[in-house]
Amino acid sequence: MHKDVKEILYTQQQITEKCQELATMINHDYHDKEVILVGLLKGSVPFLAELSKYIEIDVTFDYMDVSSYEGVESRTITIKKDLDQDVKGKDILLVEDILDTGKTLTTVKAMLEERGATSVEIVTMLDKKEGRTYPIEAKYVGFEIPNAFVIGYGLDFNEKYRQLPYVGILKEECYQ
Ligand SMILES: O=P(O)(O)OC[C@H]1O[C@H](OP(=O)(O)OP(=O)(O)O)[C@H](O)[C@@H]1O
Ligand code: HPA
Ligand SMILES: [Mg+2]
């Protein structure tokens, strides 16, 4: 275990089994549709890679990289990398590592709906419900986690720890 990890929450094996379960639901729900899996960079990459191994329906992949800022009266989002394709009339499944305040996914979902997507749903590996400040829920949730700062399996602190093959809680002394 990495020296900065306080506790492992989910092992590689548990994450793989959860990806199989989630993919089974997605295969069922989207069997007659052609889905675009949209990974939000950078955190979603390991989860998207594992989940997609078990998806049997036809899907295509695309990626977005956004950063959002909270102003006094408004929320602005900067698109650092946009999708390669037009989503009008398409079924979109947003793939995330974590749903925390909900700011990122609320903004991206609204943006894709405005562009005319037929449906925009969310699959997230982790759901930190206590962190939520925006009223948004994911259709598919891997694990509900406590209100702690987590790293690994794509999740970073200051861009580090993304490569860890498990999800763990970061020691408080590393960010205090
Ligand atoms: O629900 P929220 O409060 O919006 O938080 C969740 C988002 O924050 C993190 O991304 P980050 O902006 O750190 O980018 P990264 O994926 O490159 O780490 C995470 O990967 C989610 O995208
Ligand atoms: O707990 C977290 N860890 C890493 N990145 C995050 N982005 C939102 N919440 C988290
Ligand atoms: Mg991050």
pLDDT in tens, 12-32: 999 999 999 999 999 999 999
Q: Is 100 a catalytic residue?
A: yes
Give the fold, CATH level 3, of 21-147. Answer: Rossmann fold (3.40.50)
Q: In the structure, which protein residues have their CB atom closer than 6 angstroms to any atom of ligand 2?
A: 98, 100, 149-151, 155-156
pTM given for the model = 0.95
pLDDT for 72: 63
pLDDT for 102-153, tens place per residue? 999 999 999 999 999 999 999 999 999 999 999 999 999 999 999 999 999 9
Give me the residue label for tokens 């408004």. Answer: 74
> Please, are residues 173 and 155 in contact by the beta-carbon 8 Å criterion?
no
- For the question of an ipTM over 0.95, the answer is yes
For the chain, domain boundaries: 21-147
Q: Which residues line ligand 1 (CB under 6 A)?
A: 40-43, 96-104, 156
What residues have CB less than 8 Å from 137, skipping those under 6 apart? 122
